[in-house]
Amino acid sequence: MINASNQIPEFTAFELRPLTGSLGAEILGTDLNGASDEDIAQVRMALDHYHVLAIRDQLLDPTAFHKLARRFGPFTGNPIHTPLDGFDDVVRFTREPDDRGKVIGENLHMDMAWMENPPAVTMLYGEVIPPVGGDTLFASLSAAYEGLSDTMQDLIRNLIGVHEGKGVFAVNAVHKSLGVRASAQAVEEIVAHHPLVCCHPTTGRPHLFLSGVLNRFVGMTEAESQPIISFLQSHAQRVEYACRLRWATGTLTMWSNTCLLHSAINDYPGQRRVVLRTTVAGSPPIAGS
């Protein structure tokens, strides 16, 4: 459940509809092109509390998308994907009707968890969306932490996870429609250490920092670490911690990257899907108390 100890504020700049009891909301009745500072502040507050927002009926070209994203904070950098011409912070992901095999991001994951300072926010904008299919599944790492027993919380509280970039280049390079930087192979050597239990920088709500590239814990072997990692990954996928977001053309979706796992659902064969993507930098992950 959304943490009742952090009272959810009232929003006057738009209509907000929660998606589930654990996370997520859709926002209607606002045009973020030319939004006031107060409007942006309210979107930030909604994101802090719901962690996933689907902001409907936006009209954004790459320039407008870039300008809007930077109002939420500086770009993280992206050592993997080639950006659009004229931008350093916007990538276009295209899935053509004749593309086969997995879609990028099909497995539950956290974006760029192998970075020392992973993105605080990921933003996607739907340019072309199939009439049915192509939803995104989200799993709340806050609700997952809160669903653990007190004993398990005590057991894992001081663990430091080792997240590795090994394999990331290959996963992206296999998708021929993606522009992958020639220098992206250097990501294979990146290793980052993050607390397993963190807290949200604004609300203080605790969450797991769990990713698909979590290899082991500091001071433990892989063999010792894997049972804990496997349990937590399975636990985080419980349906009561999840929401499934349905896209539409013109939907802007943004999420608190380090508080969630997400997955692109591959259920639209023969359909074209095009999204713009960028990320917003934040503070380094903060260990929970």
Closest by CA position to 256, among listed 125, 90, 142, 156: 142
pLDDT digits (tens, 9 = 90+) for 231-281: 999 999 999 999 999 999 999 999 999 999 999 999 999 999 999 999 999
b (16+ CB within 10 A) / e for 119-130: bbbbbbbbbebb
% of the chain at pLDDT higher than 70: 90
Q: Which residue has the higher pLDDT, 28 or 171?
A: 28
What is the radius of gyration, based on Cα positions, of the chain?
18
Q: 169 pLDDT band (50/70/90 cuts)?
A: very low
Q: What is the layout of strands, in order, in the sheet containing 273-280?
A: 15-18, 25-28, 52-55, 252-256, 121-128, 273-280, 91-95
d(CA 284, CA 192): 11
Checking if the pLDDT of 223 tops 60, the result is yes
Closest by CA position to 6, among listed 201, 243, 287: 201
Q: What is the layout of strands, in order, in the sheet containing 160-164?
A: 191-195, 160-164, 214-217
The burial of 200, by beta-carbon neighbours within 10 Å (0-12 exposed, 13-18 middle, 19 or more buried), is given as: buried
Q: What are the structural domains of the chain?
A: 15-287 (3.60.130.10)
Q: 222 pLDDT band (50/70/90 cuts)?
A: very high
Do 210 and 236 touch, CB atoms closer than 8 A?
yes
Question: Could you give the angle at the alpha carbon of 133 between the alpha carbons of 128 and 134, nearest 5°?
Answer: 60
d(CA 24, CA 278): 19
d(CA 42, CA 130): 30
Q: Amino acid letter at 283?
A: S
**pLDDT given at position 4:** 45
pLDDT digits (tens, 9 = 90+) for 87-116: 999 999 999 999 888 887 888 999 999 899
DSSP-assigned letters across all residues of 232-284 = HHHHHT-GGGEEEEPP-TT-EEEEEGGGEEEEE----TT--EEEEEEEE--PP
Do 27 and 14 touch, CB atoms closer than 8 A?
yes
